[in-house]
Amino acid sequence: MADTATPNVIRRADYAPPAFLIDTVALEFDLVPERTVVRNTMRVRRNPDASRAAHFELMGEQLEFVSATIDGTPFGNARAHEHGLVLDNVPDAFELTLTSICNPAENTTLSGLYVSGGNFFTQCEAEGFRRITYFLDRPDVMATYTVTLRANKADYPVLLSNGNLLEEGDLPDGRHFARWEDPFRKPSYLFALVAGKLVALEERVKSGSGKEKLLQVWVEPHDLDKTRHAMDSLIHSIRWDEERFGLELDLDRFMIVAVSDFNMGAMENKGLNIFNTKYVLANPETATDTDFANIEAVVGHEYFHNWTGNRVTCRDWFQLSLKEGLTVFRDQEFSADMAGGATDEAARATKRIEDVRVLRQMQFAEDAGPMAHPVRPESYVEINNFYTMTVYEKGSEVVRMYQTLFGRDGFRKGMDLYFKRHDGQAVTCDDFRHALADANGRDLAQFERWYSQAGTPRVAVRASYDAAQQRYSLTLTQGYGEAAPATRETQKGPLLIPFAIGLIGKDGADLPLQLEGEAKASAGTTRVLQFTQTEQTFTFVNVAQEPLPSLLRNFSAPVIVEYDYSADQLAFLLAHDSDPFNRWEAGQRLATRELLTLAGRAATGVPLQLDDSVVAAFARVLTDETLSPAFRELALMLPSEAYLAEQMAESNPAAVHAARQFVRKRLANALRNDWLKIYEAHRTPGAYEATPEASGHRALKNLALSYLAELDDPAQAVRLASAQYDAANNMTDRSAALSALLNASAANGGSKEAQQALDDFYRRFEKEPLVIDKWFALQATQRGNAQRPVIDIVRKLMTHPAFNLKNPNRARSLIFSFCAANPAQFHAEDGSGYAFWADQVIALDAINPQVAARLARSLELWRRFTPTLRDGMRAALEKVASQVKSRDVREIVEKALA
């Protein structure tokens, strides 16, 4: 068994180069759902940079081994085992042909080769290729691939793989073939094939150097009318990467394929991106503004991987953020540029606010729990569990800090050097950092700590003003506070934190900034302080009046800022800060503070009250016509219940819900006429447009509707929502109306208007799976009450004919929505939510471990909750731990219980 056991924990420190290299791969597939035969011919040689190994060990999983030949002769010294194949006494360089069989029809894991809707798809990242053929399935083994696909022509008329189509033709017995060649060396995780009944929207575009490129978006025939937006997003992505980074599409042909059974968002396989249908298909009737924006972002993300991930890839999976953090940063910048160009700061800020919201809500929580890990993790049990908010979103913030430090031009110089040095290589996060440092003539040794330290840093700020000397000092202190145990061992020293600040005068205008020792004030009124020590004081001179500091402008580093603003000061910042991000931030701070006070009262049964001044501060934003509707919507959306619960000493979802509902009702009642006016003023009559302006109007109007639905007498809101539901010409308005109807009726245990709309919605969109996902999700996330707990509705929906646990989107729409997006109902005192969770994790574990492990994570912060809930969660975790089979789920529940 020595060579069969996968070690339990994989450590970054144990990296060693592969003993063998594979230069070319020729794959032949005979595609049959239950029994696909794969013939794999590789040119193999010993790696001159590795120590000499006695055996050639290949990885393989769920494969039936058939035969091995070396240089054309059958090879007897091959031993297949559960996790791979061992070849003894191989030559130093040889051609190896391996034949094996797999069963795509029965593959419910959606990793490797699988069947979905009668078509074949692959998913290889991170370690799926070994489920297709025996291989050195690690990203530092790069080869060129030729792929021959053979299949029945009537059932599988389209045969796709990476790169360029070399040849296609008919075969006997109604079969046909296609042969593809990818001219670029790539790691096995970027391999892909697709076969089936698909059709494509096509465009031909000229790239920057004048070469013609064929672009295709492949979908099932009935979805062809939902591909235009994905195609436009692809074209915009291609242009943007040329303009912003000088990076051109390197293939003659670029394909996107949509599949409805998919574990994540999408996958950047070279020249053949495979997408969850959710991130491709859109038309106004079926997709919301958010869907349109997400499609643009994900199409961009996958396309940008063509350079950051594919041309330069990762040496090992600990370097995952090298490609993911960087590519998220690139897709965020792309979306911001699409919304606001390079200069419209207010429009760019809405994207920034949305991204920071996600980071704080999800990544900060991850960093405070048992799965906390550095952007470049030190160890893992199952790599699929490390496609995390930390690697992606915090990783993106780390990349953004280089740009904040060096400016756009300096960042571009660093990127240019990175590609000059590493094109065609598999490299590390250190290589990226060194390219940025060298291109800008800067020592970034200290900056490495952003990659190696887990936990969210805290920056405490103390200010002092000396009126006589006109000096203003800010003393910054950095640390990790009471960090989660999982993060303590990684903390080694202070970080280089780019800390952007401005100083605001009594009239609300920015003051000039002149640091002690400088001859004159700097040009702009925002300064990026280079905060490198545990404690550091920055003194500004010629400060004529005591200013109000605007701290961490545009969220210049992924940290928590501790500064004791008064409510009045926050209201002032909300009204005046020239930095749009911090304007929003002031409102969030104000709301968070009030909400946490109220949650504390709710937890102890003290009556709730909210000061008029807080209502007034929000009313000013709501009615400020100089602010964009999109910004006002973001400013008036209260922090989420999950985020608020996380901020409590002891998380109490029921108290948070009560507090948040109280404030929503208070704002609804106090500003009733304003909400009504806003509702009318921001209608978007006429044909649907997916522009940022139009979607901003819809967002603000629908926020108004959701507040109106909070009124004690919701009759008017119900009338408006019903009318909006019936008249809607787009999914944003229709689903917002349905949601308002559901919530307006929650207090009365449901209403006939809500039920009618739900039934209509189902009938209308029965043939649109992505819309039916919304139908499940809206019900799973609705508000509940004592007579009608949402768990009852969810359990009933589990038996609905349209429910299917094997389809990840559907499982997410009902189960994840309830367990992760409806905290007040999920965390019911009776433990019913937890029992449901445990049953579903165990059921999913047998079908699809990757999806099961994601669901398993929804209880990981259990130790932070109130005692009753804590006990209930522990019992559920223990139940799962005792029954779970997959390494994926085991790692999650064991870390949670440790």
Q: Report residue 26 as tokens.
A: 């020729």
- Can you tell me the distance from the alpha carbon of 708 to that of 808, in angstroms, rounded to the nearest whole number? 34
Binding residues for ligand TRP, how many (CB under 6 A)?
A: 12
Residue with smaller CB distance to ligand TRP, 301 or 854 = 301
Residues 384 and 890 sit within 8 Å (Cβ to Cβ): no
Q: Report residue 227 as tokens.
A: 């591909």
Using the rule CB under 6 A, which residue among 127, 220, 268, 355 binds ligand TRP? 268
Does 301 participate in binding ligand TRP (rule CB under 6 A)?
yes
Of the residues 302, 324, 333, 641, only one is catalytic, namely: 302
Does 840 participate in binding ligand TRP (rule CB under 6 A)?
no
Q: How many CB atoms lie within 10 A of CB 896?
A: 22
Minimum CB separation of residue 386 from ligand TRP in Å reads 10
Does 123 participate in binding ligand TRP (rule CB under 6 A)?
yes
Minimum CB separation of residue 427 from Zn ion in Å reads 16
Residue-by-residue DSSP string for 506-534 = TTSPBPP--BTT-SS--SSS-EEEEE-SS
Using the rule CB under 6 A, which residue among 57, 302, 393, 891 binds ligand TRP? 302
Does 247 participate in binding ligand TRP (rule CB under 6 A)?
no
Residue carrying the six token digits 């590789």? 42
- Torsion, Cα 289 292 293 297, to 10 degrees, reads 170
Residues 95 and 41 sit within 8 Å (Cβ to Cβ): yes
Report phi then psi at 563, rounded to 5: -150, 135
Stretch that binds ligand TRP, among 119-127, 232-240, 749-757, 778-786 (CB under 6 A): 119-127
Residue with smaller CB distance to ligand TRP, 302 or 579 = 302
Does 266 participate in binding ligand TRP (rule CB under 6 A)?
yes
Task: Give catalytic status of residue 302 as yes or no.
Answer: yes
Residue with smaller CB distance to Zn ion, 119 or 327 = 327
Q: Which does 264 bind (CB under 5 to 8 A by kind): ligand TRP, Zn ion, none?
A: ligand TRP
Does 136 participate in binding ligand TRP (rule CB under 6 A)?
no
Residues 159 and 171 sit within 8 Å (Cβ to Cβ): no
- Can you tell me the distance from the alpha carbon of 628 to that of 394, in angstroms, rounded to the nearest whole number? 28
Minimum CB separation of residue 161 from ligand TRP in Å reads 18
Q: Which does 387 bind (CB under 5 to 8 A by kind): ligand TRP, Zn ion, none?
A: ligand TRP
- Can you tell me the distance from the alpha carbon of 586 to that of 30, in angstroms, rounded to the nearest whole number? 61
Minimum CB separation of residue 387 from Zn ion in Å reads 8
Stretch that binds ligand TRP, among 266-274, 602-610, 807-815, 835-843 (CB under 6 A): 266-274
- Can you tell me the distance from the alpha carbon of 283 to that of 229, in angstroms, rounded to the nearest whole number? 8
Q: Give the C-alpha distances (Å, rounded to integers) separating 38 from 56, 58, 63, 81, 139.
A: 20, 15, 10, 18, 21
Does 296 participate in binding ligand TRP (rule CB under 6 A)?
no
- Can you tell me the distance from the alpha carbon of 61 to that of 789, in angstroms, rounded to the nearest whole number? 44
Residue with smaller CB distance to ligand TRP, 123 or 525 = 123
Residue with smaller CB distance to ligand TRP, 391 or 551 = 391
- Can you tell me the distance from the alpha carbon of 47 to that of 217, in angstroms, rounded to the nearest whole number? 39
Minimum CB separation of residue 236 from ligand TRP in Å reads 18
Q: Which of residues 366-405 bind ligand TRP (CB under 6 A)?
A: 387
Residue 182 CB contacts under 8 Å (≥ 6 apart), including other chains = 144, 145, 146, 147, 161, 162, 163, 164, 270, 271
Residue 125 CB contacts under 8 Å (≥ 6 apart), including other chains = 189, 190, 267
Does 848 participate in binding ligand TRP (rule CB under 6 A)?
no
Residue with smaller CB distance to Zn ion, 306 or 490 = 306
Q: Which does 704 bind (CB under 5 to 8 A by kind): ligand TRP, Zn ion, none?
A: none
Minimum CB separation of residue 890 from ligand TRP in Å reads 19
Residue 219 CB contacts under 8 Å (≥ 6 apart), including other chains = 198, 199, 200, 201, 226, 227, 257, 258, 277, 280, 281
- Can you tell me the distance from the alpha carbon of 497 to that of 495, in angstroms, rounded to the nearest whole number? 6
Binding residues for Zn ion, how many (CB under 5 A)?
A: 2
Q: Which of residues 326-345 bind Zn ion (CB under 5 A)?
A: 327
Stretch that binds Zn ion, among 100-108, 317-325, 576-584, 737-745 (CB under 5 A): 317-325
> What does the DSSP 8-state code read for residue 813?
I
Q: Which does 556 bind (CB under 5 to 8 A by kind): Zn ion, ligand TRP, none?
A: none
Minimum CB separation of residue 266 from ligand TRP in Å reads 5
Residues in contact with Zn ion by CB under 5 A are 324, 327
Residues in contact with ligand TRP by CB under 6 A are 123, 125-126, 263-264, 266-268, 301-302, 324, 387
Report, as residue numbers or ranges, the catalytic residues: 302
